[in-house]
Amino acid sequence: MLDEVALQSIALTLRLAGMTTFVLLLVGTPLAWWLARTRSWLKGPVGALVALPLVLPPVVLGFYLLVLTGPQGSVGRLTQALGWGLLPFSFTGLVVGSVLYSLPFVVQPLQNAFEAIGDSPLEAAATLRASPLDTFLSVVLPLARPAYLTAVVMGFAHTVGEFGIVLMMGGNIPGKTRVISVQIYDRVEALEYTQAHWLAGGLLVFSFLVLLALYVLQPTGRRRRGPGA
């Protein structure tokens, strides 16, 4: 069975995933809207930057983020000057790293949905004198609801399964930065395979149920095109 340390890592992981998903929606919605609507030459570079975690090893992203936010990094010097301390080896640092690493899993489904809406619903709302905010809240959000479901589920699940970037940014501090994936690594290193099986098996079941729920809850047409289509 799971001991108190393992339960702490589970609670911390769920807290991290929830906070990360919330921040991802706040950051990802305007970013996805801009990518879907803009004709700027910056769309390509920004889109590539957002998608970079899909192909970049998480350890590489975590390393450069650690350097950037460390005592000698530009972000680290800024946070110290503002009295916020340093981000590495803190829960806030875990959130920052997780947001960057899971960003494409939220932005891309939303961007695809916003692009699929087209101009006609927006133009119709404009003829009724709806403000841009009213149009987004009353027209865009309801039409993009399936994409938001995909974004929330994938962002949350991806954060739960992170290892490389959370290990680089958070280290392995019990009750503070030790998440489930790091806990599994610790148990395997200590040859405590029973505990590792409980944690790894739980993650396996969780991942399957998340994907099953995402598949079942999606409308049939979207299911045929795939998540975020």
* pLDDT at res. 219: 63
85's tokens: 């301390």
User: To 10 degrees, the CA torsion angle through 17, 20, 22, 26?
Assistant: -160
pTM metric for this prediction: 0.87
Confidence of residue 192 (pLDDT cuts 50, 70, 90): confident
Q: What's the rounded mean pLDDT across residues 182-194? A: 88
Taking only the tens place, the pLDDT of each residue in 97-109 is 999 999 999 999 9
Judge residue 204's burial from the number of C-beta atoms within 10 Å of its C-beta, 0-12 exposed, 13-18 middle, 19 or more buried. exposed
For 226: left if phi > 0, alpha if psi spans -120 to 50, otherwise beta; the answer is left
Residue 29 has pLDDT above 50, yes or no: yes
Tokens 């957002």: give the residue.
Answer: 50
SS3 readout for the chain = CCCHHHHHHHHHHHHHHHHHHHHHHHHHHHHHHHHHHCCCCCHHHHHHHHHHHHCCCHHHHHHHHHHHHCCCCHHHHHHHHCCCCCCCCCHHHHHHHHHHHHHHHHHHHHHHHHHHHCCHHHHHHHHCCCCHHHHHHHHHHHHCHHHHHHHHHHHHHHHHCCCHHHHHHHCCCCCCCCCHHHHHHHHHHCCCHHHHHHHHHHHHHHHHHHHHHHHHHCCHHHHHHCCCC
* Domain region containing 156: 4-225
Identify whether the C-beta of residue 56 lies closer than 8 Å to the C-beta of residue 37.
no
145's tokens: 């609801």
Q: Any idea what the CATH number is for the domain that residue 184 is in?
A: 1.10.3720.10
* pLDDT at res. 1: 67
Q: What's the rounded mean pLDDT across residues 207-221? A: 77
* pLDDT at res. 175: 82
Taking only the tens place, the pLDDT of each residue in 125-135 is 888 888 888 98
* pLDDT at res. 195: 85
In this predicted structure, which of 60-74, 122-136, 145-159 has the lowest mean pLDDT?
122-136
Confidence of residue 6 (pLDDT cuts 50, 70, 90): confident
Q: What's the rounded mean pLDDT across residues 6-33? A: 94
Share of the chain above pLDDT 70, in %: 94
Q: How many domains does the chain contain in total?
A: 1
* pLDDT at res. 50: 94
